[in-house]
Amino acid sequence: MPINQPSGQIKLTNVSLVKLKKERKRFEIACYQNKVQDYRKGIEKDLDEVLQIHQVFMNVSKGQVASKEDLQKCFRTTNVDDIIKEIMMRGEIQLSEKERQLMLNKINNEMLTIISAKCINPNSKKRYPPTMIHKALSELKFSPVVNKPAKLQALEAIKLLTTKQIIPIARARMKVKIVLKSNEEPVLIEKIQKIVVSGPTASGIQDTNNSWTTVGLIDPVNYRDLVSLCDGKGSLQVIDMAVIDDSQ
């Protein structure tokens, strides 16, 4: 007696799922491990390299493919590529325990590397190794999570570390170059000079073309203020994101 297989069902195993809920319905796509993050970062652009199968599901584990009616109702289109891209970018990544631990380790290493590059011991003017930063964050009970970029979590950790000071730590300064279109801006120049705290031309120099230029170091927290001050008045260039000022 022949065995009838249910139509419209596809069985998939060993996949990473990305899920998105819309209009009270859940949609899923089946991806290769670690490829979703590469796609979100722009490292991988080919959907065929990310997807195990080029299809939108209601339930991958049961092989239930989403109907065109559901796609049209919830996404206002039946274009599978457009729907897959939306799920890929906005959906929640469903990870196995092993995948989750690998992802956490990766994010943690990236986060510690960023913190080590951006911060120094203000007394010795030297950077902390990632192992020491990890120990300090463990004491503060700060742990990374998988659903936030490493850079954002690094900034949150830096704020916590510099506030609690269980080790002497401070943000390394940024090296910037500012060029004002006119040197006849005494009030603006004075405000900029209060922010650009040190450097070979921190006090600024006047050029023969009636412009004013300064190169020096700033505290990263003041960067947005500089952007606002220079808006429409001149240019702001970041030369180095994290510099150790050995002059002090």
Per-residue pLDDT of 43-90, as tens digits, reads: 888 988 999 999 999 998 888 999 999 999 999 999 999 999 999 999
pLDDT in tens, 108-125: 999 999 999 999 998 988
Specify the DSSP class assigned to residue 21: E
Please check the confidence at residue 147 and state whether its pLDDT lies above 90: no
Task: Please name which of 11, 14, 24 lies closest in space to residue 59, comparing C-alpha atoms.
Answer: 11
- Looking at every residue in the chain, the average pLDDT score rounds to 86
Please check the confidence at residue 245 and state whether its pLDDT lies above 60: no
Asked if residues 110 and 134 have their Cβ atoms less than 8 Å apart, the reply is no
Tokens of 147: 């659903």
> Domains (ranges, CATH) in the chain?
16-94 (3.30.1250.10), 97-170 (1.10.10.900), 172-243 (3.30.70.240)
Report which of residues 240 and 208 the model is more confident about: 240
Asked if residues 172 and 243 have their Cβ atoms less than 8 Å apart, the reply is yes
Q: Helices 130-139 & 97-118, crossing angle to 10 degrees?
A: 110
**Number of neighbouring beta carbons within 10 Å of residue 229:** 20
Distant-in-sequence, close-in-space partners of 239: CB < 8 Å, separation ≥ 6? 175, 176, 177, 215
Residues facing 198 on adjacent strands: 217
Tokens of 15: 């996949």
Distance CA 103, CA 113 (A): 15
Task: Please name which of 110, 180, 60 lies closest in space to residue 51, comparing C-alpha atoms.
Answer: 60
